[in-house]
Structure 1
Amino acid sequence: MKNDKLCKTDVVNRASLQPLAGTETLEQVAARAAVCVVGVGATGIRLLHVFRAHEAKEGETFLFAGATAAGVSSDPDAREFGGAALVVMLANTNDAGVLRDMEAMGRRAWSAGALVFAVLAQPATSGAMARNAASAMAGYVDGVIFVPATPHASLLRHVLDAYVAVCTQGDVSHPWRAPIGTDFLDLSASFTGTGQASVGVGQAKGAARSDRASRAVEQAIASIGTAQLAAAAGVLILLIGGRSLRLHEIADTTYAVHAVTARGAAQVLAVQNDERLGDALRVTVIAAGPSA
């Protein structure tokens, strides 16, 4: 939940936020940013440049975690995260010092009232290793998303947009909230070796025993296009609903996408729960073809 508490630079860890070269000052961007994307470590900063060059949207700011010189602290009145509702940290946990800096940034963002998600770009790991990494970060992030070591910028863009959508439910003026099920997502194996990604979204209302799931997924498929799905190498199906969401609706959604997806395409299913949707279901499909 957002509040007015300021988040100061952590002098002990000597890591402070800095804007990318050629952008506005930290104070200017923090004053109006709803979403802060932060590159932490060498990999995180590389991805930050790729992300920003691909497509930046209004209300987003791009910062990186840099070391503060020994004995020097930043202005104690600096509003590092300003009024940001969402902070996304891009990183690879294998980079030196990243876990320390991520914890410092995550705790400061939390104290500023922001939701915090870590996007970890690294080679596919075992399920146990991924869960252990997520557990280690549970004290300072709301969720962990694993992506390939060299993800296409479009994949990062669509995943961020999807999480902004689920945290706001279409109303950015209300307090942002992370629905149940947003705390863990692993795309590292399924999207390794993929290129340009596309997205389709569908939403439908109705009783639990209605055809709302079929209608929502049909909209999503039509939005992304069957040709894109037929050529996909990696697919994410994100289904979100309220308390009335039923298992058969999850199955209907999954099978509908599977029926038009290329044989052998890796699929990831993520199911989230949010009472703000009421009797509506929303389906988001992100599909990426093989890298060129």
Structure 2
Amino acid sequence: MSTLTKVLVILLSISAVFLCAAVVTYVASADNYKQRYESQRNGLSAAQQRERQAQDDLNAAKQEYDRKEASLSTQITALKTQNEQFTANLTEKDRQVSQLTARLESIAKDGQNVAIAMDNNQRILDNTLAELNKVQAEKIKLDKELKETTATLMEKMSVIDTLKTQNERLVAEKADLDKKISQLMTQYGKTAPVTAPVVSRQDMVQPAAATTTSNIGLKGVVTAVDAKNSLAEISIGSANGVRQDMKFHVTRGAEFVCDILILDVDADRAVGILDLVRQQPRVGDAVSTNL
């Protein structure tokens, strides 16, 4: 065998070795990529299943929230009507008490000046006193019923606030899961499905009548504004004398902006609902109990 033939045989052997190594490397890489693809695809399927389950849970929670909110709103409306009726009855009883008291005073004066009608006046006086005691007993009963109705009304409002918080938490969890699904699908060149956001109805409960705050002279500034829910936060709290149901006037320079009726009070801040809004308040606007 010639030298050239030996060289060719050696080169051919080396080429065959390199070719075999390349084939082995390719097969190993193909198996590895296939395993990664299967793993990613399984992860995507599981995430999509969790997203569908979260959507079903959210829809069920929203339906339950809407049902409870409608029921509580009906109860609150009925309680408010009952409250107004109790208030009207109390006013009427107060008027009757005033009339009977005036009548008693008049009868007492007549009794002192007219001795001949003393017996008759005594009977009238006794009857009037009995009627007065009856009216006062009815007034005490109405006072008790009014307090019980007010407590029930506040309890219903608290339940609505809890339901709104739960609904907002579910919406936030779904948004986070949608974001993760979108990231996984983007890795494969797919577009994540667009889901319509759940809109929570923000039916604002009207606050109680504002506490009279004239001559208190509290002053502060607006520190945060939630225009969507008509809420604002001020820089002073219970440590400064702020109490629930107080009314603060918001001004910008010499202009009146709106009123804030306080709903919740912390030591160094308070939150209230906007009222008599002429323009939207801003952070830094002045607030005070006196204009």
TM-score range, shorter chain: under 0.3
Question: Is the radius of gyration larger for structure 1 or structure 2?
Answer: 2
Q: Give the structure with the larger strand fraction.
A: 1
Q: TM (normalized to structure 1)?
A: 0.24
Q: Give the structure with the larger helix fraction.
A: 2
Between the two structures, name the one with larger relative contact order (CA 8 Å, sep ≥ 6): 1
